[in-house]
Amino acid sequence: MDIGIPKERRPDENRVALTPTGVGELTEHGHRVYVETQAGAGSGYTDEQYTAVGGHLVYTPEEAWGRGELVIKVSRPMPHELDNLFAGQILAGFLHLAAGKRQKIQSIQEIQATALAWEMVQTENAELPVLGAMSEIAGRLALQIAARLLENQFGGKGTLLGGAPGVPPAEVAIIGAGMAGANAARAFTGVGATVYILDKDLRNLRRVEQACRSHIVTMMSTPSNLRKVLSFADVVIGAVQVTGVRSPVVVTREMVRSMKPRSVIIDYSIDQGGCFETSRPTTLHRPTYIEEGVIHWCVPNVTGAVSRSATHVFTNATLPYLHAIADRGLDAALALHPELDRGIVIHQGEIRHPVLKNLVGQSDQPNQSKDEVA
């Protein structure tokens, strides 16, 4: 199979779809992998490393897209990138179509291409093998982000997360006890912060409590409990994720207004629209803004800040599925991996996901949501 790896073009996106080792594994199976020049530079990989394992360099995005029966990306494509799609082509990436512009769905549909959304790949027991792997990194990264934003030179209140003798630690509230929230909880408890985690699922709360050896406060996610913890929290992390749909807004502007000045909000749900009413997408280069006196950090490609580690994790998570598609063909791969079938949201122009069908039906209506991302 011919596989294309274009250079990512979103602002501050340093990740790449495959490491040179991953490309080498595919070429060893007889597949041709076309890598756009400098695609791996942001993650520390040179063009020579890709050619050394059998990759073919191409010098324009049009060629990287045009040569691939399967095109592999990390972040969702920019609108103009979809002009390179052709009928029968497979596009794989974190597509987040439910939170994006409706025209993207229509473009893929009209071209009769196939869209494989990695965030939708889900096992029978509701595990997310690709998204979950990246969420582990995001959760652990939350500690570094919060610690920096609490420092005075970044506009914070000057609070040390772990406290000091005679000085209490910072109070951190995490909304959502999934993979990102659980990993964030472990990181924050590890440095001595006082951590509250809220979720609607008691099973998730039990798992986090066990993982943190009870050094954590677990609470049911209700409006009353959210108001309570937001009123005193120094850091609030939104890690609400509902597979395949826009993230629900669980924190209202009124709740944000009740927070202490110069507190910190980190919205990890922003790639699916955000779970705070006051959230809007930012970039790694300009990650923050102030709203209602509170620092907001709302970067969709959060793991792009640690691109080399993220690229390794992404390659490890996706390579078994890429092997199956390239070696056996898409239909056989879907039969072999039922979880992969759940990630096919559009197949040869046919929209398979009910939420996307509904969105296309609404696309002609005026006043689309301001929360849509490109």
* CATH number where 245 lies: 3.40.50.720
What is the reported pLDDT for 364? 47
Domain count, the chain: 2
pLDDT digits (tens, 9 = 90+) for 347-363: 998 998 887 877 776 55
Residues 190 and 251 in one domain: yes
Question: HEC string of the chain?
Answer: CEEEECCCCCCCCCCCCCCHHHHHHHHHCCCEEEEECCCCHHHCCCHHHHHHCCCEEECCHHHHHHCCCEEECCCCCCHHHHHHCCCCCEEEECCCHHHECHHHHHHHHHHCCEEEEHHHCCCCCCCCCCHHHHHHHHHHHHHHHHHHHCCHHHCCCCCCCCCECCECCCEEEEECCCHHHHHHHHHHHHCCCEEEEEECCHHHHHHHHHHCCCCCEEEECCHHHHHHHHCCCCEEEECCCCCCCCCCCCECHHHHHCCCCCCEEEECCHHHCCCECCCCCCCCCCCEEEECCEEEECCCCHHHHHHHHHHHHHHHHHHHHHHHHHHHCHHHHHHHCHHHHCCEEEECCEECCHHHHHHHHHCCCCCCCCCCEC
Q: Is 96 a catalytic residue?
A: yes
Domain membership flag for residue 43: yes
Domain membership flag for residue 150: yes
pLDDT > 70: what percent of the chain?
Answer: 96
Q: Which of 17-21, 183-187, 216-220, 354-358 has the lowest mean pLDDT?
A: 354-358
Of 254, 284, 300, which closes a domain? 300
User: Has residue 85 got a pLDDT over 80?
Assistant: yes
User: Has residue 365 got a pLDDT over 50?
Assistant: no
Residues 209 and 135 in one domain: yes
Of 300, 327, 352, which closes a domain? 300
Is the separation of the CB atoms in 96 and 272 below 8 Å? yes
pLDDT digits (tens, 9 = 90+) for 276-332: 999 999 999 999 999 999 999 999 999 999 999 999 999 999 999 999 999 999 999
Confidence of residue 242 (pLDDT cuts 50, 70, 90): confident
What is the reported pLDDT for 370? 44
Domain membership flag for residue 329: yes
What is the reported pLDDT for 100? 73
pTM, two decimal places: 0.90
Residues 24 and 172 in one domain: no
Domain membership flag for residue 67: yes
What is the reported pLDDT for 355? 76
Residues 220 and 157 in one domain: yes
Residues 151 and 107 in one domain: no
Q: Which of 271, 296, 337, 353 is catalytic?
A: 271
User: Has residue 373 got a pLDDT over 70?
Assistant: no
pLDDT digits (tens, 9 = 90+) for 260-279: 999 999 999 998 899 999 99
Residues 141 and 209 in one domain: yes
What is the reported pLDDT for 374? 62
Confidence of residue 369 (pLDDT cuts 50, 70, 90): very low
Domain membership flag for residue 368: no
User: Has residue 56 got a pLDDT over 80?
Assistant: yes
Domain membership flag for residue 21: yes
* Mean of per-residue pLDDT scores for the chain: 93
Confidence of residue 213 (pLDDT cuts 50, 70, 90): confident
Q: How many residues does the chain have?
A: 374
Is the separation of the CB atoms in 256 and 265 below 8 Å? yes
pLDDT digits (tens, 9 = 90+) for 96-150: 887 777 888 888 999 999 999 999 999 999 899 999 999 999 999 999 999 999 9
Residues 166 and 230 in one domain: yes
Mean pLDDT (whole number) for 160-165: 96
Q: Is 234 a catalytic residue?
A: no
Range(s) of the domain holding residue 247 = 131-300
Residues 210 and 316 in one domain: no
pLDDT > 90: what percent of the chain?
Answer: 83
What is the reported pLDDT for 261? 96
Residues 96 and 149 in one domain: no
Domain membership flag for residue 369: no
Domain membership flag for residue 367: no
Identify the residue with better confidence: 366 or 80. 80
Of 300, 327, 344, which closes a domain? 300
Residues 277 and 156 in one domain: yes
Backbone phi and psi for residue 181, each to the nearest 5 degrees, phi listed first: -65, -40
Residues 290 and 143 in one domain: yes
Residues 77 and 12 in one domain: yes
Is the separation of the CB atoms in 374 and 80 below 8 Å? no
